[in-house]
Each structure stands twice: as C-alpha cells, then as structure tokens.
C-alpha cells in the first residue's frame, strides 16, 4: 500500500507507449483487430470487478450497462449525428445512471443475498433489452453503425483509430481499478466483501460505497460499449444483451482473480486469446467446448484465481519484513473520570417478531468508568450493544452520546462518533492482513488520520495488543486469544469515546484472562469509557466501577458490583429462587 515504485512505473509507461505506437509502425489490420478485442475484454472484465470482484456482489447484468452505452452511442451518432467522441461521455453517463438507479433500489434491501443480486441484475438486463427492442431505439431492425465517422487520430485507417480507442479505454479502466484497490473506497469494498455488517459497524458507509462502485463500474462498461458499437458496425438486441458478455466477464475475472485489480485482465487475455484461436465453423464449436473445460478445471483447482494464487506463492518466500514506521503517536490527555454521562440509553425497546428482546432498557455510562453489564444468557446484553452501535434500528426509546441523539443514525455514522465494539466471536475481515484489519478500523473510525500517521497508529495498537509479530498474517493464522486481541486492536485504534466489549474473556485460559484484564485497565487509563459484558464474575468485580444487571430484556439492578451481586433478586436470576436465603 505504499506509493508507486519508480522502476515498475517506468516499465508500465514504456509498454503503453509501445502499444500506442504500433499503428504508426504499420501493424497489419488483422493484429489491430485482435489486440482491440483483447483491450475490449480487459476493460469490460476490469470494470465488472470494481463492484463485483472487490465487494463480492456478483452482477450478471453487465450487459445492461455495456448495451446501454452501445445503444446510446449508436442513437446519438447515427440518428442525431452527434460527433463520436462527444457521444462517449453521454454513453458513460447513461450507463452510470442506470447502474445508480438499480443500486439505489436493490442495495436498500436489508437482506440482499449475493445470488439474489446476481439474478436481479440479470432480470434488469432482459427488461432493458426488451424495452430497446420495442422502441424506436432499435425497433427490432438493428442499428447500422459502420458509417459513423471516426476521428482520425494518427493513422488514416478506422481500425487504427479503434485500436487506439480500445487501448485508451483498457489502460484507463486498469488505472481506475488499480487506484480504487489502493484507495479508501477499495479498502471499504474489500471489507464489505469479507463481512458487510462488521464493515458498517467499523465506520464504512457500505451503501454509499456499493453505489459508488456500481456506478463507476457501469460508467466504464458504458464507454466500452460506446467504442464497441463502431467496432461491430451493426447492433442487434440479441447480440448486445445476450448471455455472452455477463458470463464471459464473470469467468474472466474469476479465472484471473476477481479481488485483485489485475486479475480480470489476466483472465481476459487467456480466455479471449483461446477463443480467438478457434474462429471458424466446426472448429469454433469444439474450441468453445475446450475453453469451457479448461475453465472448469481452472475454477476447481484455483478457486481464488490465478493472480492471487501466484502472489501467495511469491509471498511465501522469505521477505525482509517492513519495519514499522517511527512516526510519533499522537497522545491524548486522558480526560478525568467524572459523573458526566457519555452515553445515555433511555427506554430502548426492540422486538424480533413476537420476541421482546428489550422491553425498555435505561442506563447511562459516565466519563471514564467501566460499566459491567451482566445477566443470564438471552437477557438482551448483546442486543443492547447491537442497538447502541446501530446494527438494528430502534423500535422505541432514545440513545444519546454526549447529549446527541444517535438512535436513528446508520451504524457507520455512529462508529465515526467514537463508539467501537468487539464481537463475542471474533469477526475479522478474513481477506485482509492483521495490519490492514487495524488500518481499516482507523481509516473509517473517525480518527481523521491518513498516510504515515495512520500506519504508525495501527502499528502502535498492534504492539499494544502483542500482535506486532503477526502484522502480515491473515486472520485465519491466529489462535482464539490472538483473534480476540485483534478485535481489541481494531476497536482501540479508533481511540473510542466509548468501547463496548462483548465477552472478550470467554474461551480464554486463566493466564490469558489476567493479561486481558490488565489490558482493559490500560485502555480505561487512556480515557475511554467502557461497557463490559461478561459472565466471568471475578473479572466483573475486579474491573467494574458499577454494574448493571439485565434480565428478560430489562434492567434488574445497578450499583456497586459487590452489593449488586448480593441482591437477592440478582441471585435468584442466576441461581433460581431456592438459593435465596
């Protein structure tokens, strides 16, 4: 995630210049056409992967955006005689609008599953195709685009111009994908891919990001379609909106590795080249079958795709470990403990169907205190945490932080206000390294840090939680203890005003519990207020300044830990009425 190294940048630059110079060098038209098709598939597959590869929402509707761009260009240039280059931005705009429209509707579905998204986008493609077929845009007769005047760039032949346009679109889409994969947007999309709910709670504006990526992806496909409209010379609805484009882009991306910016390009080159070798008649039939067979084998053997698999092999070789940057950590003066409330929860209600999970819970957390939240299983502790972090919408009541109502804000906005949580069962982003897991939380958690300061902060908290040696590992390589501490590091790096710890101690052995208790004290000393959900009474009594006992979705008792634990009602809840002496 560092800047561009000079040597590869030079290499990439010279390759682009060489490719651009080919038409001038008098390349035969056959090769120009062959390379154009390569560029076309690379650009199309890469554009698809910006949403579908990075964020994991597989779209089967890429033909809709591609086709919208194609027909927009054809309509403008043929029927309205707009110059070709002026039509391309319009094509991008039309396709982007279509994508944004679809995204704005479907991404609002709370339980939108991946395969439903795939089929919804496929359905939209059929509808767009039918509309174009039955309106004067096509009307069933097709549109002849071969006579559209192309700008003459350097060469006089139209195939040279198409080649250059293809090259520009291809390089452009690769550059955009590369930039996205390194940007804040890309980081957010990768997190959505791994665990969308956690991403939102860590501060990623998931709806906006998905919409942005979808729009960007559609816009690029629209431009590719616009250029391709003049390449094919004659547009028909069945060819444009057929199954070829959506399925080939998916296969190319999956083969090459959809999650890496260069993966779709690699897959596109392999598949497009092998399709090109079988061009005529019977050969084409058999060729397609062979390509399909190779695909099956590749997908079965390399489910992650070629590029990520190769990169993983390379990474296995010993590399000199990057030393953590030495940038100074911004230290904040720990605010004094006081009776001023940080969090005020008032009469919060939530039911799931007929189950009343919370029936009017009220509590407050004061500046700098550790509030123990205890109660039997099913008493609503985790639900309350989910309500505070905005994971579930409120049915009633109010939640305020520093006096400001947050009860109806989206989870990512709440995270940016300085509320962080850990999960009882750790939920790290499986595809990101330990370091990136922590960096992501810092990036989106309202710290306002970036660049070296962000890295330094991430390394600081990794060291704080004893994970410095694991920075480059993937979460799957950690044991439970380390995964719990990664949860903590992800929460701490945001310097939260309020930290919600959901059973951080469960499953740890006594020595690990002692180190965790020391860690939680250290966190409090840095100024955070803590809500500590725990079943382990020893830790609750040791750590908490106050305790709130919940039972059946309501608060039962609160106050000094030792006194509350002796309250007969509390004993009855835990051990049954017979034990109350």
Q: For 253-265, b where at least 16 C-beta lie within 10 A, e where not — what string?
A: bbbbbbbbbbbbb
Q: Around Cβ 78, how many Cβ atoms within 10 Å?
A: 18
Task: Choose one: 151-159, 191-199, 300-308, 548-556; the region binding another protein (CB under 8 A).
Answer: 300-308
| Residue 500 beta carbon to another protein: minimum distance, rounded to whole angstroms | 29
Task: Give the three-class secondary structure for 377.
Answer: coil
- How many angstroms separate the Cα of 443 from the Cα of each of 319, 336, 376, 448? 26, 27, 36, 7
Please give the residues from 480 up to 539 whose contact with another protein meets the rule CB under 8 A. Answer: none
**Closest to 407 in 3D by CA, of 423, 382, 380, 386:** 386
Q: Give the DSSP per-residue string, 141-152.
A: S-EE-TTSPPP-
State which of residues 16, 106, 175, 541 lies at the interface with another protein (CB under 8 A): 106
**Which residue number, 155 or 236, has a Cβ lying nearer to another protein?**
236
Q: Around Cβ 24, how many Cβ atoms within 10 Å?
A: 12
Number of residues that bind another protein (CB under 8 A): 42
Opening angle at CA 202, ends 197 and 203, nearest 5:
100
Task: Choose one: 1-9, 131-139, 181-189, 408-416; the region binding another protein (CB under 8 A).
Answer: 131-139
Task: Give the three-class secondary structure for 345.
Answer: strand
Going by their DSSP bridges, the two strands 143-144 and 234-235 should be labelled as antiparallel
Task: Choose one: 119-127, 466-474, 481-489, 517-525; the region binding another protein (CB under 8 A).
Answer: 119-127
| Residue 285 beta carbon to another protein: minimum distance, rounded to whole angstroms | 5
State which of residues 251, 384, 434, 573 lies at the interface with another protein (CB under 8 A): 251
| Residue 304 beta carbon to another protein: minimum distance, rounded to whole angstroms | 11
**Which residue number, 285 or 560, has a Cβ lying nearer to another protein?**
285
293 binds another protein (CB under 8 A): yes
Contact 194, 432 (CB under 8 A): yes
| Residue 414 beta carbon to another protein: minimum distance, rounded to whole angstroms | 26
123 binds another protein (CB under 8 A): yes
Q: Give the burial class of 422: count Cβ atoms within 10 A of its Cβ; 0-12 exposed, 13-18 middle, 19 or more buried.
A: buried
Largest distance between two CA atoms of the chain:
100
250 binds another protein (CB under 8 A): yes
Going by their DSSP bridges, the two strands 396-401 and 370-374 should be labelled as unpaired
What are the respective helix, strand and coil percentages of the chain, to the nearest 5? 55, 10, 30
**Which residue number, 301 or 511, has a Cβ lying nearer to another protein?**
301
State which of residues 85, 131, 340, 355 lies at the interface with another protein (CB under 8 A): 131
State which of residues 79, 288, 315, 521 lies at the interface with another protein (CB under 8 A): 288
**Which residue number, 111 or 317, has a Cβ lying nearer to another protein?**
111
**Which residue number, 50 or 440, has a Cβ lying nearer to another protein?**
50
Contact 516, 508 (CB under 8 A): yes
351 binds another protein (CB under 8 A): no
Task: Give the three-class secondary structure for 486.
Answer: helix
The contact mask relative to another protein for 55-74 (x = CB under 8 A, - = no) is ---x----------------
104 binds another protein (CB under 8 A): no
322 binds another protein (CB under 8 A): no
Give the binding site for another protein (CB under 8 A).
58, 105-106, 109, 111, 114-116, 118-120, 122-124, 126-127, 129-131, 133-134, 140, 242-243, 247, 250-251, 254, 282, 285-286, 288-289, 291-293, 295-296, 299-301, 303
């Amino acid at each position: 995630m560092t800047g561009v190294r000079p040597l590869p940048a030079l290499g990439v630059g010279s390759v682009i210049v060489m490719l651009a110079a080919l038409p001038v060098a008098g390349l035969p038209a056959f090769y120009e056409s062959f390379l154009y098709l390569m560029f076309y598939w690379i650009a199309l597959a890469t554009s698809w992967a910006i949403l579908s590869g990075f964020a994991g929402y597989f779209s089967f509707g890429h033909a809709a955006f591609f086709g919208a761009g194609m027909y927009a260009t054809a309509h403008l240039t043929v029927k309205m005689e707009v110059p070709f280059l002026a039509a391309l931005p319009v094509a991008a705009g039309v396709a982007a609008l279509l994508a944004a429209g679809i995204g704005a509707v479907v991404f609002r579905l709370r339980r939108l599953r991946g395969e439903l998204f795939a089929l919804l986008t496929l359905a939209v493609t059929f509808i767009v195709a039918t509309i174009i077929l039955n309106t004067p845009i096509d009307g069933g007769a097709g549109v002849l685009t071969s006579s559209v005047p192309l700008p003459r760039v350097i060469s006089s032949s139209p195939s040279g111009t198409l080649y250059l346009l293809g090259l520009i679109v291809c390089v452009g889409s690769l550059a955009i994908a590369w930039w996205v994969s390194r940007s804040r947007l890309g980081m957010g999309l990768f997190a959505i891919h791994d665990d969308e709910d956690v991403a939102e709670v860590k501060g990623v504006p998931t709806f906006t990001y998905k919409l942005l990526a979808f729009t960007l992806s559609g816009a690029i496909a629209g431009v590719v379609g616009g250029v391709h409209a003049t390449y094919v010379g004659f547009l028909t609805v069945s060819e444009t909106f057929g199954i070829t484009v959506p399925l080939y882009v998916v296969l190319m991306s999956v083969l090459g590795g959809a999650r890496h910016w260069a993966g779709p390009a690699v897959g596109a080159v392999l598949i497009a080249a092998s399709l090109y070798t079988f061009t005529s008649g019977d050969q084409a039939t058999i060729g397609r079958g062979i390509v399909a067979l190779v695909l099956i084998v590749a997908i079965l053997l390399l489910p992650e795709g070629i590029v990520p698999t190769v990169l993983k092999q390379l990474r296995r070789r010993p590399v000199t470990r990057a030393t953590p940057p030495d940038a100074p950590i911004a230290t904040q003066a720990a605010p004094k403990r006081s009776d001023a409330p940080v969090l005020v929860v008032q009469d919060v209600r939530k039911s799931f169907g007929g189950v009343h999970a919370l029936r009017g819970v009220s509590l407050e957390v004061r500046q700098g205190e550790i509030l123990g939240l205890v109660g039997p299983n099913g008493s609503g502790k985790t639900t309350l945490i989910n309500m505070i972090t905005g994971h579930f919408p409120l049915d009633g009541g109010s939640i305020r932080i520093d006096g400001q109502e947050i009860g109806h804000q989206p989870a990512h906005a709440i995270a940016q206000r300085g509320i962080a949580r850990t999960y009882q069962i750790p939920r790290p982003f499986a595809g990101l390294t330990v370091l990136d897991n922590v960096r992501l939380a810092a990036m989106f958690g309202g710290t306002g840090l970036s660049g070296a300061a962000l890295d330094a902060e991430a390394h600081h908290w990794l060291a704080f939680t004893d994970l410095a040696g694991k920075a480059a590992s993937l979460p799957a390589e950690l044991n439970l203890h380390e995964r719990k501490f990664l949860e903590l590091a992800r929460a701490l790096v945001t310097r939260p005003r309020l930290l919600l710890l959901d059973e951080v101690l469960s499953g740890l052995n006594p020595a690990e519990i002692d180190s965790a208790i020391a860690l939680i004290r250290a966190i409090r000393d840095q100024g955070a207020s803590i809500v500590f959900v725990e079943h382990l009474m020893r830790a609750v009594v040791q750590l908490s300044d106050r305790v709130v006992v919940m039972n059946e979705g309501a608060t039962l008792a609160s106050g000094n830990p030792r006194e509350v634990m002796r309250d007969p009602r509390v004993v009855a809840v835990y051990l049954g009425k017979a034990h109350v002496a």
